[in-house]
Structure 1
Amino acid sequence: MPLSALLTRSALGLLVLFGGALAAIGGVSLGLPGLIAVALAASVAACLAAGVARDAATRDPGQAAVDAAWRSAVATVAVLLVLSGCAVVAGGAITVLLVAAGLLAVLIRWAVRSLRADRRDASAVVLPLRTDDGWVRALSVPALGREWVRTSAALAQTREPVARQQLVHRRQEALDELERRDPEGFARWLAAGATVDSDPARYVSGDPAAGYDAA
């Protein structure tokens, strides 16, 4: 095992032991009423986390809610007990400083991750601007519809101005081509309440003479 990995694991082990000792001290110092309050706080945190996870999960929302609930409950209990133990050992002022430092570290990490995510989104959706409509003429009507829906999702996730401009340009070209192929079907899509996540290919025919309504 590399020396750096061994040192990291040793440091984590010592940190866990130190935190466990503080949690034990905090639990003893709180007494029964304090432990009941901690349990109530953990229950509230678990319920909130379960609700958020259930709404955000795309697969197996029940399992996601259970996982989020117990993790949040354990984290809440651990944090409150450690803070209580730290207050007993080091005093309230030191505990406040440690909490402030921890919150600052979390905020900095969140900001860095958000910035990196925005950069990844921007780089993933940056598309070359086209000076002609050759690319849309080569796509089928279903492919043009998928392009509209795909770029709608990409536009909602993109913050970088150049990438947004390119997406808007690409979306306009796709819509222009759909309208050129079947003006009546395109008008039916607009009349049906066209939205950014509705597929215009359900209404547009590749053959304007066919005049069919896919809806």
Structure 2
Amino acid sequence: MNYANCDFSPMKQTIKEEIYQVILALQNNLDAMDDENYCLLGNLEKIKEHFISIDMKASNFYLNCYLAPFTDKYPELTICVQNLSQRRHGGLIVIQREDSLDGFIQPGIPIGAGLTHSLLESIFYPGNPLHDGAVMIEGNQIVSAANVLPLSDRAVGDKKFGTRHRAALGLSERSDALVLVVSEETGKVSFGFKGNLYPINTGE
């Protein structure tokens, strides 16, 4: 995998330092529990929020690393998912990497246009006939829209996952494609890669 555009050292150091802070906070809470009047609930919530922040920082960094060798339009994708998130418009965007996706998806409507955030946002605008399916991106081009992706069997019966999230997982389980997904219920953004979903912070 090509990470030529990624300098891991600063990010790894930052994450190591923040994980150490979480460990230290947990140890302090453990020590404080000897005091019968001590309530740790509030502090545990702060630690949880800190850990989620670490997870998102790492996800944002690796997302860029995974995409950089395959598209120059990462900024356009970032603006798109930020706007979809703010408006609570659902979205499903497949970025093809090395693996061919033939046979994994049910092809949709050809688009054949340059990748811009405004075009992507218009595709996912509620009421647009193409908004329910997945957009396929190859290089710097929007290849097609309204594609149907395979659903993950692993998520069947799990109420935490909607159809878009199951589709992101399903394709990522079968290929090295990266799949961005925006929840229309919560506005939260995540990406599917190699059979896992990772939350990303749209504020960065």
- Whether the TM-score (by the shorter chain) exceeds 0.5 is no
Tell me the TM-score normalised to structure 2 length: 0.29
Structure whose residues are more often helix by fraction: 1
